[in-house]
Amino acid sequence: MDTNGKLFKKFLEREDRIANQFNTENATKQHNKGKLTARERIELLFDKDTFEEIDAFVTTAAATSNFGTITESFGDGVIVGHGKVSGRLVFSYAQDFTVMGGSLGVVHAQKISKIQQMALKMGAPIIGLIDSGGARIQEGIASLAGYATIFKNNIDSSGVIPQISVIMGPAAGGAVYSPALTDFVFMTNKTSYMFVTGPNVVKEVLNEDVTNDELGGAEVHSKKSGVAHMMYEDEEHTIQGVRKMLTYFPSNNVENPPIILNPEEKDDYIEKLRDVVPDDPNKPYDVKDVIDLIADTNSFYEISEKYAQNIVVGFARLKGNTIGIVANQPKMLAGTIDINSSIKAARFIRFCDAFNIPLLTLEDVPGFLPGIDQEHMGIIRNGAKMLYAYTEATVPKITVILRKSYGGAYIVMNSKNIGGDFNFAWPTAEIAVMGPDGAVAVLYRRELLASEDPVALKKELVKTYRDEIANPYIADEKGYIDEVIDPAVTRKKLIIAFEALQNKQVSSPAKKHGNIPL
Ligand code: HXC
């Protein structure tokens, strides 16, 4: 081809035009807000020089608008394409706020939809980098239809390819529901916010003043609503977080996660495991210390760290293999299960099950959180979510009972009879229908009332209960757990047990789908 010829010049002019769309003026607008441009985000997400853009020259729909103006642009405010993340194929789209506020018009929607369908066909994860004012007002119903198609693609892909949404500016109106349908939502502190209706509408309807950040900032969604799973302080770290999370995942639901061995030898952990749970059964400790001692060095990647902290969930590796960990956290609400922790764990368990990630449960739970609030807000329906998710999951499932394992919570935390493959207990385990205080109060109410020294009697009864009932040996003798183990050998035991389970096959009864209590 004549590269000096007219045809080639035209090609170069078009390339120039794309490059100029990210001119200094537009970039500065983003940078001044502490944000990166869509293209800079893409560069950070993908391995160097691996991103291949498609549909760069697609132009904004020649829609006529009787309300507002439509700025014509190449690309229509969204970059779409594919590249490599840690050497593996990943698809992505990045919205450009400098083109009509990243709003979603018909062409913008078609581009996202096209890349979603490609990701599904190729069995590769998709990452949405979102910076959008929602449905493009000028394009009316066509924008809403565009969102509807994107949501449908999200749902078709759910459980087939990992989907991650990264909020890097506004996600307003329709822009929130695609993230809500994906597996994980990342937010950047102070520069991102998500809401269905913004502060103006809140003011109009309720006459309440609220800022973007107060209404739907990263802190709010990470701590209060649970909408965001991950929060980072700036966009670079947010994108690094996405890259890290992807290392734990298979590309799709028929593959296994990659094996990533840590060259750092794990040392010094064996004796520490014996001391990590305090002798006093009422003394709290941090279950993340147990996780760190068991998992490969520095491999734990926690999800929803700030939300429902009475349960800890996250990915880790055992001898290079990804596992999902669900652990009661005795230092928050004594590790009880409440509505939010059940929902948090259930969603995590279902993700792991969909993507062939074996589950490790670390149990220290005195029961469900009692209270009027919990009962009235539906702990029955919501607590059932975790029970359902565990029971339904067919990936390898192992439980280690560290300490308390009482009542309904014993059943829920992957007990043998709901399908635990290996159930181990430490000698510190207390497995029973209820805790000693409750049991004594129910069974010895009359005796305590009649006693001259009820405090001493209660103390004695509690001791007897602990010795006779609330220990791991009865469950061990009856086969409700498989083995009482020395805490020091836990890591070794788990490596062997997960290896033994790697070809686990389960056939469930045929059905369209179950009916998880939502
Ligand atoms: C068209 C939009 C737009 C939109 C922003 N812009 N949102 N254009 N459609 N939805 C344009 C602005 O007109 C402006 O254009 C440019 O983007 C930047 O916007 P600013 O308001 O100047 O930026 P900022 O102050 O940072 O505020 C950002 C914002 C605000 C909070 C997102 O723009 C806003 O409130 N937008 C509307 C949000 C919203 O209500 N969306 C819901 C749409 S309905 P110029 O030319 O001045 O640069 C919806 C329903 C779908 O999505 C439901 C599906 C379930």
Looking at residue 89, its amino acid is L
Q: How far apart are CA 73 and CA 21, in angstroms?
A: 8
Residue pair 118/91 in contact (Cβ under 8 Å)? The answer is: yes
Pair 342, 476 in one domain? yes
Pair 312, 397 in one domain? yes
Residue pair 411/367 in contact (Cβ under 8 Å)? The answer is: no
Question: Residue 199 Cα, ligand 1 centroid: separation in angstroms?
Answer: 12
Q: Phi/psi zone of residue 260: left (φ > 0), alpha (ψ -120 to 50 degrees), beta?
A: beta
Pair 427, 455 in one domain? no
Query: In the predicted model, is pLDDT for residue 69 greater than 80?
Result: no
Question: Residue 164 Cα, ligand 1 centroid: separation in angstroms?
Answer: 23
Instruction: Give the per-residue pLDDT at 63.
Output: 59
Closest Cα to atom 38, ligand 1: which residue?
133
Give domain status of residue 374, yes or no: yes
Closest Cα to atom 55, ligand 1: which residue?
174
Residue 33 alpha carbon, nearest atom of ligand 1: 26
Average pLDDT over residues 103-120: 96
Catalytic residue set: 173-174, 408-409
Give domain status of residue 42, yes or no: yes
Pair 398, 444 in one domain? no
Pair 29, 138 in one domain? yes
Q: Which distant-in-sequence residues (6+ apart) come within 8 Å of 219 by Cβ? A: 189, 213, 231
Number of domains in the chain: 3
49: CATH: 3.90.226.10
Query: In the predicted model, is pLDDT for residue 72 greater than 80?
Result: no
Instruction: Give the per-residue pLDDT at 1.
Output: 66
Mutate to test the pocket of ligand 1, among 28, 30, 95, 103 (most ligand atoms within 8 A of CB): 103
Q: How far apart are CA 104 and CA 91, in angstroms?
A: 19
Q: How far apart are CA 498 and CA 436, in angstroms?
A: 34
Pair 224, 317 in one domain? no
Pair 90, 134 in one domain? yes
Domain range enclosing 231: 2-246
Q: Considering the entire predicted model, what is its pTM?
A: 0.95
Question: Residue 513 Cα, ligand 1 centroid: separation in angstroms?
Answer: 38
Pair 427, 449 in one domain? no
Give domain status of residue 205, yes or no: yes
Instruction: Give the per-residue pLDDT at 62.
Output: 62
Residue 132 alpha carbon, nearest atom of ligand 1: 32
Going by their DSSP bridges, the two strands 126-132 and 184-188 should be labelled as: unpaired
How buried is residue 514: exposed, middle or buried, by Cβ count under 10 Å (0-12/13-18/19+)? exposed
Pair 448, 465 in one domain? yes
By percentage, how much of the chain surpasses pLDDT 70?
98
Pair 235, 337 in one domain? no
Residue pair 391/347 in contact (Cβ under 8 Å)? The answer is: no
Q: Which distant-in-sequence residues (6+ apart) come within 8 Å of 29 by Cβ? A: 98
**Confidence grade of residue 468 (pLDDT, cut at 50, 70, 90):** confident
Question: Residue 398 Cα, ligand 1 centroid: separation in angstroms?
Answer: 48
Give domain status of residue 260, yes or no: no
Q: Name every protein residue with a CB atom under 6 angstroms from any ligand 1 atom.
A: 100-101, 103, 133-138, 144, 147, 170, 172-174, 177, 198
Q: How far apart are CA 108 and CA 95, in angstroms?
A: 9
Residue 201 alpha carbon, nearest atom of ligand 1: 40
Q: What is the pLDDT of residues 403-426, one digit of tens each?
A: 999 999 999 999 999 999 999 999
Q: What is the pLDDT of residues 242-262, one digit of tens each?
A: 999 999 999 999 999 999 998
Give domain status of residue 251, yes or no: no
Q: What is the pLDDT of residues 201-226, one digit of tens each?
A: 999 999 999 999 999 999 999 999 99
Q: How far, in Å, are 244, 310, 324, 348, 438 from residue 331 at the CA level?
A: 27, 7, 21, 21, 21
Pair 442, 427 in one domain? no
Q: How far apart are CA 28 and CA 205, in angstroms?
A: 35
Closest Cα to atom 3, ligand 1: which residue?
133
Average pLDDT over residues 160-176: 95
Secondary structure of the chain: what % helix, strand, coil (to 5)? 45, 20, 35
